[in-house]
């Protein structure tokens, strides 16, 4: 079905069209916004279909799975595709009012479209090698977006970003080769059928390098250094786009691929994931304490929150490895916590970075030492920041709270005390960091160096407030409709943990049927 590929085709086609009207920034911006709105609509259609339990599949070039390249839209993939288009749309609108003309003319919009299209490709593909190709496409677009403008901090940040991400990619590529050698397939549905027949130790050995490769891309401890070194260097709108999407592609790939091997796993990988999750949470949040620049603080918090996403995966894997009568439900609860957390995090984090962009726009700086009094001069911005910041910290009834409730509850039932304790401590420290930004930037007296209120070049227009308010509305809907969203996350987790439907949808009947029992 061609609809499965639309969220990828629309932005990539629009990106190519943008190249044809090179240098005409307004036209490119219009094209980008229209294309991303179309992508959002087509992804939403996929999500609605996927939630009915249908798994739509498209085989490219009439080569059936497991030989050809397959696109699959299940609940997780469709949800991530919706989030990618949402973040892309917000970033494209925000670019109109915040980006300098040189960058806007120099290819910002085509790169943004290619990046978002590649991210959607990574979410929708059902083939490991194709996933590698999308990873490279999104990396290459992000490399150029990161360095567009070529200031010295951008270039220095890019060196670290490029090197570590390429090492991750090459490790992934090498593991793809090993997996092909071991199983003779790279189709994820086919793999989920063949992996349970492998020797458990061997399966763990194949999953381990994937864990490292996607761990680098997701910026987990101890391989996260590239993120805080580079995310604050490009224009704020690019930071927001990266913050919302890129590490989450790593987390998505980690969850997908590690779960392929989870049924066959001895508990070793689960322990590694849980330790990584805890240390990622702690180092990220402690790194943020020492920072005084808004964007640097927020960058370290990305690292910290990746830990929460891994926590659900780790608890779920530990429960599956231990087995027992209620393992299935508990594993689904933990994984649903991760899915909900990713949903919440992408929206909130993008929004906080957009707010930092608005602050830079209003005051010319995002260092807390030179800020203050924004509550008096920009009350609406202050309100939107506070709402998103409290959601991020997980204040009760806001969206982050529901995500953390599921994670902590599953951790307690599973008896993973250490990770639960770590997650609660990190929550408090997150709140502390957000309050530091609040008191530093929004409260207090306006410094004398601040430009006078109403200065023309510092005014914030609709293209600044629009995306911020829109994403805040999504966060609010996620909090208000917490039980609906959580129900969806639970169904997503169940679908991820039981690959039988996925296999039936993707593989033709001629491919050997699942061995009795399968993985659970």
Partner 1 sequence: MIALLSLSVAALFGAGAYMLMRRSLVKLVMGLVLFGHGANLLIFTMARAQRGRPPLVPEGAEAPTAPFTDPLPLALILTAIVISFGIVSYAIVLIKRVYQDVGADDLSIMTTTDR
List residues binding partner 1 (CB under 8 A). 67, 129, 132-133, 136, 139-140, 143-144, 147, 150, 152-153, 155-160, 162-163, 166-167, 170-171, 173-174, 176-178, 180-181, 225, 228-230, 232-233
Return d(Cα 58, Cα 63) in angstroms, integer. 10
Nearer to partner 1, 54 or 182 (CB): 182
Return d(Cα 13, Cα 34) in angstroms, integer. 12
End-to-end CA gap in the chain: 29
In this structure, is the dihedral angle defined by the CA atoms of residues 141, 144, 148 and 153, taken in order, positive or negative?
positive
Nearer to partner 1, 2 or 290 (CB): 290
Nearer to partner 1, 11 or 168 (CB): 168
User: For residue 198, what is the enclosing H or E element?
Assistant: none
Return d(Cα 433, Cα 430) in angstroms, integer. 5
DSSP 512: -
Nearer to partner 1, 141 or 280 (CB): 141
Strands 70-73, 56-59: parallel, antiparallel or unpaired by DSSP?
A: antiparallel
Residues 6+ apart with CB under 8 A from 224: 280, 283, 284, 303, 306
Nearer to partner 1, 151 or 266 (CB): 151
Nearer to partner 1, 193 or 296 (CB): 296
Kindly state the smallest distance separating residue 354's Cβ from partner 1, in Å.
21
Kindly state the smallest distance separating residue 152's Cβ from partner 1, in Å.
5
Kindly state the smallest distance separating residue 182's Cβ from partner 1, in Å.
8
Q: CB–CB of 437/368 below 8 Å?
A: yes
Nearer to partner 1, 182 or 279 (CB): 182
Kindly state the smallest distance separating residue 248's Cβ from partner 1, in Å.
22
Q: Tell me the CA distances in angstroms from 502 to 21, 188, 348, 394, 489, one per residue in order.
A: 41, 9, 30, 33, 17
Kindly state the smallest distance separating residue 431's Cβ from partner 1, in Å.
25
* R_g over Cα of the chain: 22
Nearer to partner 1, 225 or 275 (CB): 225
Nearer to partner 1, 170 or 286 (CB): 170
Kindly state the smallest distance separating residue 220's Cβ from partner 1, in Å.
18
Q: Tell me the CA distances in angstroms from 262 to 169, 183, 198, 297, 355, one per residue in order.
A: 22, 16, 12, 34, 39
Return d(Cα 92, Cα 237) in angstroms, integer. 8
Nearer to partner 1, 175 or 490 (CB): 175
DSSP β-bridge partners for residue 187: 127
Nearest to 36 by CA among 105, 77, 96, 87: 87
Q: Which two tokens stand for residue 351?
A: 């929004």
Q: CB–CB of 180/139 below 8 Å?
A: no
Nearer to partner 1, 29 or 139 (CB): 139
Kindly state the smallest distance separating residue 189's Cβ from partner 1, in Å.
17
DSSP 62: G
Kindly state the smallest distance separating residue 170's Cβ from partner 1, in Å.
5
Q: For 55, list phi and psi in degrees, rounded to 5.
A: -115, 105
Q: Which two tokens stand for residue 18?
A: 């943008």
Kindly state the smallest distance separating residue 167's Cβ from partner 1, in Å.
7
Q: CB–CB of 66/194 below 8 Å?
A: no
Nearer to partner 1, 296 or 344 (CB): 296
Nearer to partner 1, 129 or 443 (CB): 129
Kindly state the smallest distance separating residue 429's Cβ from partner 1, in Å.
21
Kindly state the smallest distance separating residue 267's Cβ from partner 1, in Å.
28
Q: CB–CB of 295/356 below 8 Å?
A: yes
Return d(Cα 357, Cα 90) in angstroms, integer. 13
Q: Which two tokens stand for residue 48?
A: 């609605």
Kindly state the smallest distance separating residue 320's Cβ from partner 1, in Å.
29
Kindly state the smallest distance separating residue 141's Cβ from partner 1, in Å.
11
Phi and psi based region of residue 54 (left: phi greater than 0; alpha: psi -120 to 50; beta: remaining): beta
Q: How many helices (H) and strands (E) does the chain have?
A: 21, 2
Return d(Cα 363, Cα 361) in angstroms, integer. 6
């Amino acid at each position: 079905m061609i609809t499965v590929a639309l969220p990828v085709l629309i932005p990539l086609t629009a990106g190519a069209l943008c190249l044809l009207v090179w240098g005409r920034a307004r036209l490119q911006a219009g094209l980008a916004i229209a294309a991303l709105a179309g992508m959002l609509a087509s992804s939403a259609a996929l999500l609605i279909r996927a939630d009915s339990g249908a798994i739509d599949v498209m085989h490219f070039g009439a080569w059936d799975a497991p030989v050809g390249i397959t696109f699959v839209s299940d609940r997780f993939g469709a949800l991530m595709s919706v989030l990618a288009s949402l973040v892309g749309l917000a970033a494209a609108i925000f670019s109109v009012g915040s980006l300098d003309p040189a960058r806007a003319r120099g290819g910002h919009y085509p790169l943004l479209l290619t990046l978002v299209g590649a991210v959607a490709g990574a979410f929708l593909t059902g083939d490991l090698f194709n996933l590698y190709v999308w990873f490279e496409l999104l990396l290459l677009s992000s490399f150029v977006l990161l360095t567009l403008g070529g200031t010295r901090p951008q270039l220095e940040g890019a060196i670290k970003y490029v090197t570590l991400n390429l090492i991750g990619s090459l490790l992934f590529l090498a593991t793809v080769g090993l997996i092909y050698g071991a199983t003779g397939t790279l189709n994820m549905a086919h793999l989920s059928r063949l992996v349970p027949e492998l020797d458990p130790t061997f399966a763990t050995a194949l999953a381990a390098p994937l864990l490292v490769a996607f761990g680098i891309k997701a910026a987990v401890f101890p391989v996260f250094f590239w993120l805080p070194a580079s995310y604050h260097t490009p224009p704020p709108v690019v930071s927001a786009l990266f913050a919302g999407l890129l590490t989450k592609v790593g987390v998505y790939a980690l969850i997908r691929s590690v779960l392929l091997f989870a049924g066959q796993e001895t508990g070793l990988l689960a322990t590694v994931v849980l330790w990584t999750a805890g240390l990622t949470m702690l180092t990220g949040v402690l790194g943020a304490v020492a920072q005084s620049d808004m964007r640097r603080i927020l960058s370290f918090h990305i690292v910290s929150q990746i830990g929460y996403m891994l926590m659900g995966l780790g608890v779920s894997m530990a429960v599956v490895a231990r087995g027992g009568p209620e393992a299935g439900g508990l594993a689904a609860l933990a994984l649903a916590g991760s899915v909900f957390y990713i949903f919440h995090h992408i929206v909130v984090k993008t929004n906080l970075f957009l707010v930092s962009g608005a602050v830079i726009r209003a005051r010319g700086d995002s260092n807390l030492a030179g800020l203050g009094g924004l509550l008096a001069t920009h009350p609406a911005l202050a309100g939107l920041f506070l709402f998103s910041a409290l959601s991020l910290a997980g204040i009760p009834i806001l969206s982050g709270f529901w995500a953390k409730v599921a994670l902590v509850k599953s951790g307690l039932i599973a008896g993973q005390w250490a990770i639960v304790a770590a997650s609660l401590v990190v929550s408090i420290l997150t709140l502390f960091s957000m309050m530091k930004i609040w008191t530093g930037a929004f409260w207090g007296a306006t410094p004398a160096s601040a430009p006078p209120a109403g200065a023309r070049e510092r005014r914030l227009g609709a293209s600044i407030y629009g995306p911020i308010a829109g994403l805040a509305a999504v966060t609010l809907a996620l909090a208000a409709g917490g039980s609906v969203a959580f129900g969806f996350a639970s169904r997503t987790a169940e679908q991820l943990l039981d690959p039988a439907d996925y296999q039936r949808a993707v593989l033709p009947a001629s491919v050997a049927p699942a061995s009795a029992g399968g993985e659970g």
